[in-house]
Each structure stands twice: as structure tokens, then as C-alpha cells.
Chains A and B, each alone.
Chain A
């Protein structure tokens, strides 16, 4: 191979060549660009306190927000169930966007169909599209259930899913007993987490109600329905593996309600099968007989939690993403309380190992000022983890943080958590703000590390802050989602990411006298 080696530069080196530098300069005569001075001044201005003030004063324009729309979450929820095809009722472009976006994060296929509504459907309604779509998708993709959600188009014109599905049955496009769960997911309400919740509740309530099962909490223990666990809008397939490991260590029977890890971590076997894993449809009504349900994203899963505690009458414990030692302790306590089983020794040993790792690494993290961006439940977990290792959250932006659960607002809980530790005293929480606000914050009040999704990379770069990629979406790095960030093992992964980023920075900024080899 090496004998016929040809130099083939990548785009970075190619466009750094002199001929392209000249091309760039020459093109300017037609661009009518701003002068270099204007640009430099505008750049400096964009970094000023005055600009930051204006930035925070804006009322209407949203710049680089950190949230997506409802039906995207709904597609993810649908893929958490066995042989379930997500069906997006509305314009096909939306569905293409959801499929691309999810595939770009997971590097996996996202099977989903749409009713391909166009202008005529906007005038006359999308019923015929839906009926044809149900018939076609069932024939082609052979699902055992369809999970139907809406786009903003269908919502604005007011399409009635329930009656359309009824008509599809009358017309014989689908059989009487073929399950079609559904929910409304207008894109102008909430965000991707709202849509996840709507669909999860839609599927659970639909499968439960049509089964005729009467909820009898605790009665299903012998049959295997002891504990229900919901992870929610979960961008980490590794977190499913971790929760399974934990529940198996407890030796408890359990049902994951919504498990898309199979679909987003399927093997390359020479053929593509469309449906991998997922919660078994038959397990859903039986989950009504479990002792209790554990939710790991309480702000995300509001409607689902209300449904479970209200209709299934079971005990429900709702936590936020269990990150860090304290977060994981809470998780284990909750499992222990719900199941009546003691916390297993193996997990305590693992806890000890991870705490040991924390003692090794804390000097490099203590007092490090961090900026955080993410969905509400993830942020509660991240804040908790930062505080317990002595990192200081400074700027926290949550574009979709205007949520509450059981009348407690996310903002209030996050602020109480920050107030509980001296390391939280510097923090300010920005609800409903976006990453352009974060840029001003990072520049005007610098931090050591930024933690958030790929979308934070430009603000972090402008501020010269290293970014640790956590959350959704992670589009520009591979395999981050395959490693858990919850549980003790996840804590260790997160710790490694953080501490090694700090150590990389130390080396990157090496001044020429400090040839540190050992740390």
C-alpha cells in the first residue's frame, strides 16, 4: 500500500494552501465585504458587556436554541416498543428531519413514515393520506403496532386522529384489532421532551385500555411484574445497559417502559431488520400490576407519571437523571424502597471503587468553574455531580426549562440544589435562554469547562473554553452515547471525560518548562 502513496490533503490542509488563500482574497472584490476594521470592531463589540446587556434584553428572536420539537421525541418514544413503527401525520419533510437528526446522533437507522400531506391535504384535511399511509406502511414494514403523532401542520388544521383511525378501520385499511397508539404533538408547544412524554403516555394508556386488564398493583410480582422503570428521552443507549445491570444486581423483576436501546444499538449482521428490541407490547398492560414505577426523568415524563400514578394506582418514584454518586445513591434507595430488596453488596463495592476514582481525580476538578447546557432532568443530574466533586457550576442555560412536576418548578429545584452547596453559590440559571446568551456569558464571565451537546461547540470555541460533550444531540463525535453516564459506572465515565479534558488542557497549554509526565 505504501509504495504508491499519493498525497491527498484533507479539506483543512487543502484550503490552507497558498493558492486557496489567494483565491479567498481575490473573491473579496465581489463580496462587498465589511472592512477588516469593521469586522474586528463588531467582533470585539459582540464580546463586550454592552452587547451582553442587549443580548439579554432581546424579547423575540431566538438564536441557537437548545431544544427540538415534539414529534422528534415522539418518534424516539415509539422506537422504544417492540415492532412499533413511528408514523408522523403531517408533512413528510418533518419526518425526514426527525429521521436524519436522530440518525446523526446515534449513527443508526431511524425507521419512521409519514402521511406525506401536501397543499390539498392542508385544505381538505389529511384523512385520506392517513388511511392510505396506514395501509401502505403495514404492508411494507410489517409492524405489530403503529405509533402515530402529529406535526404542526396537522395540528393547525385540526386533524382528528382518533376519528381518522376509526375510519381507517371501517374502510378496511387496517384490521379491527391492529394497534394504533396515538398522541398530539404540536411543534409550537413544549419541546422534544414533551413529545416523548406524550407518546409514551399515548402508548401505555392505549395498550392498557384496550387490554381490559384492571390495575392491581403488586399482584403481578410472581408473574414478573415487580417494578416498572422509565428512562425517558434518553440519548444514551449505554444508560439502558447500565440500568439493566443495576436492576439485575438487585435481582428484581422489572419492565422497562420504553426501551429504544435495541433500535439504536443494533448489530451489523449482514441484514437489516427494522425492529430491534423494545418493550414487549404484551408487557404493558401487565405493568399495571407492578409494585411501583420508577421514573428517571421526572420533568420529562409528567403526563406519563400522572397516568401511572392515577390510573394504575401504584407507587411512583420520580427522579431526575441519576448522575454522580449521590444521584446513583438516590436511584438505588428508590429501587430498594419500591421493591423491598436491599441494595446489593456488588453495587456498594462498585460505589467504593468509583468513589476511590473520585479521590484520585478531584484535585484537578476542584474549584473548576463550569458552564452547563441541557434538558431539565439531565441538568439536575449534572449540577448534583458537579457539586459533589467540588466543581462550581457558573452558567446554566436550559432552553426548555419552563417545566414543573407536582407543582415544583424545575427552576426552583435547581436553585435549591445549587443553594445546598457552597460550590453552587456562583451559579445563575437561565431558563428559556439560548446558546447565543451562553456565548455572552462564557465570554464575559469565563469558565474552565463547558458541558453540553455539540450545539454548544461554537460558543465554547468563541470563548476558548474546552467542551465536554454530554446530552443531545452529539452530532460531531462518535459513540459517546454507547457509554453510560448514569449509575456508578456512568459516574466513572463522566469523571474520566471531565478530568482528562482538564489534563489535556494542561498539556495543550504547556509553557515549555513543565514537562509533566505523571499526574
Chain B
């Protein structure tokens, strides 16, 4: 089913009417309707990875959120200091569900909030001395911590603290990796620069620092999976069943050692290209490790990806792959047979971080659902180049859409499901539009792999088809009924 290109163009124009002239001109650059031409040229007109307009309720976060919240935070055997005032650490505490085995506060620090809690005096006199003390105290409090990262918040950069020097000194004194990460929130235009900065720090301080006792022909890394609700586990189980050996998992449920030995892999498998492409590029150049993207959302994409991965290996792996697909297919078909009739032709609007707005499309399509509009918080040109060909003609593709735009679009497109974040979620509950929080799988999951798809399908069905939405009585209707009494 194609979508109406002209109609959707008009809808976007109408939505943007609300802006003042300057902001309207800017926002127009962030919308494009998918056409045959757009599919081949990628991003003919669409602008991305530039500053958000002030005052518009952007869904975006900051560099700190990208580094501490996404990339570094899930590394479980290191302590990550939220270095600066109290808030940033507090709000990023345990909110992304990076599942990790281990004992919290002993050898697993993923759900801890460790901060320097800057006071006015730290701003005036600098926080370097305090940082030294903090680092020593961390080794006292958490003797099994394998390393420490210093995630700097806005004031640290503004007052010019030398966290690099402190980290270097303390790394020597304590004989452990201490990694300064310059991820102050004001850097860049979104979380995205934070991912890049975080990756650079992994490259400079961690990668290649340890050896793997025995390497093998089937050694691979899972890159860019943060193990939300156990996603990486549901992915890993398939790679291992196929006969591959996953030597490192980045960074969900990951350890320092896994980051250090990852350069020994034969192939890098990257799920979230947006947040970790910097690393696979670097490892390709530095260690000659090839990389490929894969997509484990929905059975179609999972079969496709498994086969593409197997194709990189020998006949044994390829046979295993086919056997495995044959084994899991009946269960996947049963899920589709059950849920597709309930979800077919339902219209979906997606606005997620920097990858899932395209990566999850296959899973929705497996269930017969149509994506009518899709957008990212913080994607770059290359993300859109991958997005356009995946979408139907006429789909509205949008970059950094504001709360206002999303609300208007959801109504004008009369969608059956919105997938976005917690800031958006409750707005749609008021509107009576079924909604899934797609950053943390609405506290469900996993969604990756075959195990994950079962949960995904069940979740989408219960969301779209909940009888609760029918209980919402529109205001006008309520008034009319009231008047009739």
C-alpha cells in the first residue's frame, strides 16, 4: 500500500504553519516525504544533526546522556562517576534497563548513582582535588571495580577542570584504567556527540589493552547492543546457536575485559549503528576487522541478518544457520498467525532515538502494520540514507520532530499506534492513541531475536487492541450526551 505523497506533503505544511517565520524555515528542512527519488538519493532535502530550535520542546537529550546514559553506563564492572552537580547522575540512574548479571554494588555497578555532587565551592575553586579523593574512595568502597570512568557534566567543561590530568595521575597511583570522558551536555546538538566522545574514549583508553588466550575462526563481537530488557542475551543466544563465539558484548552486560579483547574478533556485528559506528570503523582501520550491520527485530529481518552473518563464514555455520531458522520458524509463524489478523493495516508513527525508527520497521511489517511516519531524535545523514529505501513511498520522514509536530501528525494521520519515549507517552494516553515507549520497551522486553519478537508481538497487540482506549469519551461527545440527559 503506497501512501498519498501530495496529501502528506500538505499535512506537513499545515503542521508547520504554527511556527514563527524563522523557526518554520528551519523546521521545513527537517521533513521529507518519501519518494522514488528520495529513496535513491537518500537525503535530498532532509537536514539532520543540527541544532534544535530554542523553545520548541525537542525530544533530544545531551552528550552526557549519550555517553553515560547509553555507552558507558552499561559497562558493568566499572564505576562511572557523574562528575558535576547532582542532577544529571540522578536522572540517568537506572532509567535505561541495561540488564547485567552480577551483584549490584559489588561486581556490578550498572544501577548505581555515583556522583561528585558539586557544590558552589567546587565551581569556584574547581573540582580536580575532589575528583582525586572520589577516585580513591571508590576503590575503597568498591574493591572489585575494574576501572572508573569520569563522565563530565556541563560545569566541569565550563570551569576548565583538568579531568584528564587527574585521571592519568590516579590511574598510575591505583594501577587501574581511569577514563576521562568529556561528555559535557552542551557539546554537540544531541545525545549523538556523546556517543562519539564515549567511543573515542573507549578507543583511546581501553581497546586492545588485553589479550584473548585462544582465538578462533568464529570469534565475533556484538557491538551497539545495550541489553535493554535483555536484548543482547536474546541476540547472543542465536549467534551462539549458529556456532559463533561471541567474545565481547558492547556495552550491555559488558565488562572492561570484553572491551579490551574485542580487537581479537574476526567480525564485528553492529546493531545500533548510530551509537557505535565510530568503533567499528576504527577497528576496521586499526585491526583490519570487517564489520556488518544486522537487525534482529522481527523474524524477517532476523532470518535475513542471520543468513548474511552466516555468509561471512563457512558451510558449517551456514548449515547451522539454516537448521536454526528451520527450528525457530514454526514458533515465529505461530506468533504471526496469531497476531497479524489483529494488527494488520494498523497505522504506526515512530519517533525514536537514532536507529530504531528504521530497525523496528521489519518487525511491524511482519505483523502487517504500516509505518506512515518515522523520525529520529538524533540521527545523521547516513541514518536517513538507510531509512528512505526501507520506507514506503509517501511516508513522512522527519528529523528531531517537536512535541507539537508529533501531536499534530498523529491526529492528522489518524494513527493506530505511536512508538516513542516517556516524554511523549502520556500525551498520547490523554489523546486515546495507543502508545509504546520504544526506548526501554515500555519496561517489557527483550524485543531482539526470536525470543524477543514473541514479546514484541504480544506487546503491540495488547497496546493497539486494549479495550481501555474505547472507554475514552471524547469531550464533545460527553457534552452532547450530558446535554441530552
Contacts and interface: CB of A to CB of B under 8 A. Distances in A.
Given A64-B112, A152-B84, A136 B56 contact: yes
A60 B134 contact: yes
A78 B144 CA distance: 44
Contact of B113 (A6, A20, A64, A72): A64
B423 A69 contact: no
A116 B141 contact: no
A167 to B, nearest CB: 14
A103 B229 contact: no
A271 interface: yes
Q: Which size bracket describes the interface of B in this complex?
A: 35 or more
Given A94-B62, A141-B57, A458 B257 contact: no
Nearest to A103: B422
A378 interface: no
A92 B52 contact: yes
Contact of B430 (A26, A109, A135, A188): A109
B2 interface: no
B335 A6 contact: yes
A108 B422 CA distance: 9
A103 B105 contact: no
A17 B56 CA distance: 46
A98 interface: yes
Interface in A153-182: 153, 156-157
Contacts of A46: 105-106
Nearest to B258: A30
B480 to A, nearest CB: 13
B258 A272 contact: no
A72 B55 contact: no
B402 A122 contact: no
Interface stretch (B183-191, B197-205, B359-367): B183-191
Given A14-B230, A270-B475, A39 B455 contact: no
Contacts of A114: 54-55, 58
Interface in A455-501: 455, 458, 462
B120 A92 contact: no
B137 A93 contact: no
Contacts of B403: 111
Given A15-B230, A59-B133, A269-B478, A113 B55 contact: yes
B426 A23 contact: no
B316 interface: no
Interface in B45-68: 51-65
Contact of B56 (A96, A137, A267, A271): A137
B287 interface: no
A8 B454 contact: yes
B172 interface: no
Contact of B141 (A39, A94, A112, A436): A436
Given A11-B445, A134-B55, A93 B474 contact: no
Given A31-B255, A92-B60, A116-B52, A109 B87 contact: no
Nearest to A135: B20
B237 A19 contact: yes
Contacts of A34: 107, 144
A110 interface: yes
Contacts of A289: none
A140 B423 contact: no
A38 B102 CA distance: 12
Interface in A20-46: 20, 23-24, 26-27, 30-34, 38-39, 42-43, 45-46
Nearest to B27: A136
B430 A30 contact: no
Interface in A271-300: 271-273
Given A109-B423, A188-B118, A60 B86 contact: no
A55 interface: yes
B54 A136 contact: yes
B313 interface: no
Interface stretch (B89-97, B299-307, B383-391): B89-97
Interface string B76-90: 010001001111101
A133 B55 contact: yes
Interface stretch (B34-42, B151-159, B163-171, B270-278): B151-159
Most-contacted residue by chain B among A20, A55, A96 (CB, 10 A): A96
Interface residues of A, number: 103
B411 to A, nearest CB: 8
A458 B104 contact: yes
Nearest to B111: A458
B186 A122 contact: yes
B458 interface: yes
B281 interface: no
B427 A109 contact: yes
Nearest to B341: A4
Nearest to B101: A24
Contact of B114 (A15, A63, A98, A267): A63
A130 interface: yes
Contact of A458 (B65, B102, B105): B105
Contacts of A133: 53-56
A72 B91 CA distance: 10
Contact of B187 (A94, A119, A269, A270): A119
A141 B18 CA distance: 9
A237 interface: no
A384 interface: no
A87 B445 CA distance: 34
Given A111-B57, A136-B23, A141-B404, A94 B87 contact: yes
A4 B155 CA distance: 57
Given A61-B141, A92-B60, A269-B475, A43 B404 contact: no
A339 interface: no
A132 B54 contact: yes
Given A19-B237, A23-B240, A153-B158, A188 B85 contact: yes
Contacts of A135: 20, 23, 55
Interface in A184-237: 186-189, 191
Contacts of A23: 233, 236-237, 240
Contact of B112 (A4, A30, A63, A67): A63
A509 B237 CA distance: 37
Contacts of B427: 109, 272
B174 interface: no
A54 interface: yes
25 contacts: A4-B337, A6-B334, A32-B255, A39-B107, A58-B141, A60-B133, A65-B86, A68-B90, A91-B62, A92-B61, A96-B58, A98-B91, A109-B426, A116-B53, A136-B19, A136-B55, A137-B56, A139-B20, A140-B56, A152-B84, A152-B87, A153-B154, A269-B478, A271-B474, A458-B111
Pairs of residues from A and B, 6 with the lowest C-beta to C-beta distance, nearest first? A93-B62, A69-B87, A133-B55, A133-B54, A32-B257, A137-B55
Given A129-B54, A269-B475, 4 more contacts: A38-B144, A42-B143, A92-B60, A119-B186
